[in-house]
Structure formats: C-alpha cells, structure tokens
Amino acid sequence: MIDILVYLFENYHDFNARPKTRTLKRRLSAIGFQEEAIAIALRWLDGLKAVPPVELPRDRQALRVYLAEERDKLGVDCLGFIAFLEAADLLTPALRELVVEGAMLLEDDPVPLAKFKIIVLTILWSREQALEPLIVEELLDDGDERLLH
C-alpha cells in the first residue's frame, strides 16, 4: 500500500487530478502493483475523500488517550511524530484520527516511521493542505535515503 501511495503522490501532485478509481486501478496493475495492495490503497483513498473529517476543537489541554493496540501498533516513534506535528500545528485532531486509522491498516507491527510519514503525507495531500517544502522533505525522509527520487 505504501508504495502505491508514494507512486500516486509522485505522479499526481494534485489529489483531485488523479484518474478515477477504475482507470487508476488498471494503470497501477499495468505497472506491476499487486491487485490486493491496489484494492486496499484505493479503497482507503476513496474513503478519505468520501467522508469529510469532523473538525474537533483544538484545545491545548485536551489529551488523546491511545488504546493499547494503537500504542503497540504505532510505537514510540510514530506517537512522538504525531505529537511533533500537533505541536507544530500541522495536524488537527480530526486529521490525527485519519492518520491513526490509516496506520492501523498497515501490516507492520510496529509501523516504521518512514511508512507512517507516507500515511501523514497522503492525508495532508488528500486534504489539499498547503505544505512547506521543508515539511514535505521531512515527510519523505526515511532516515537513510529519500523515498522519492
């Protein structure tokens, strides 16, 4: 799923410019992505656009309590990254919930930070958030090498 999300971000800078799901499915299949991964990624992307997140109030004193399975799945690195993004006002509470939901779909346990960053980037991209180049660079940095070329 992550490879598909990276491919889409790299090739369709505007989320709304991507082809319809049926066409995109054929293109991704022709490139060589597996049918199951395509189905999961496109279903998730369609879900992002279909249901607008309910905007939750930004209360600096509010605390998000993570379920044990969320803590285990996300791990310290991803939870720390969420805190960083929220402190920098890059992630609203509603977007945070979409990010957590997306990360919970991944097979990795715990989710590697590099993959988590792609989930964050995809959520922000799908919501057409204006992103500073340094933020995009940070989200695409996997620690060793760039995910996009």
In a domain, 146, yes or no: no
> Hey, is 110 helix, strand or coil?
coil
Identify whether the C-beta of residue 49 lies closer than 8 Å to the C-beta of residue 43. no
48 or 43, which is more confident?
A: 43
Band of the pLDDT at 143, cuts 50, 70, 90?
Answer: low
Residue 145 maps to a domain: no
Average confidence (pLDDT) over 6-23? 85
Using one digit for the tens of pLDDT, what is the confidence trace for 54-113?
666 667 677 889 999 999 999 999 999 999 998 888 888 888 999 999 999 899 999 999
Query: What is the count of structural domains for the chain?
Result: 1
pLDDT value for 127: 80
Domain that holds residue 70: 2-140
Place of tokens 């695409």: 140
- The answer to whether residue 119 sits within a structural domain is yes
Is 74 part of any domain?
yes
Cα–Cα distance measured from residue 48 to residue 51, given in angstroms and rounded to the nearest whole number: 6
| Residue 149 in domain | no
Tokens coding 44: 């998730």
pLDDT category of residue 135 using cuts at 50, 70 and 90:
confident
* In-domain check, residue 147: no
Q: How far apart are CA 5 and CA 8, in angstroms?
A: 5
32 pLDDT band, cuts 50/70/90, is: very high
What backbone phi and psi angles, to 5 degrees, belong to 94?
Answer: -65, -45
Q: What is the mean pLDDT of residues 107-130?
A: 89
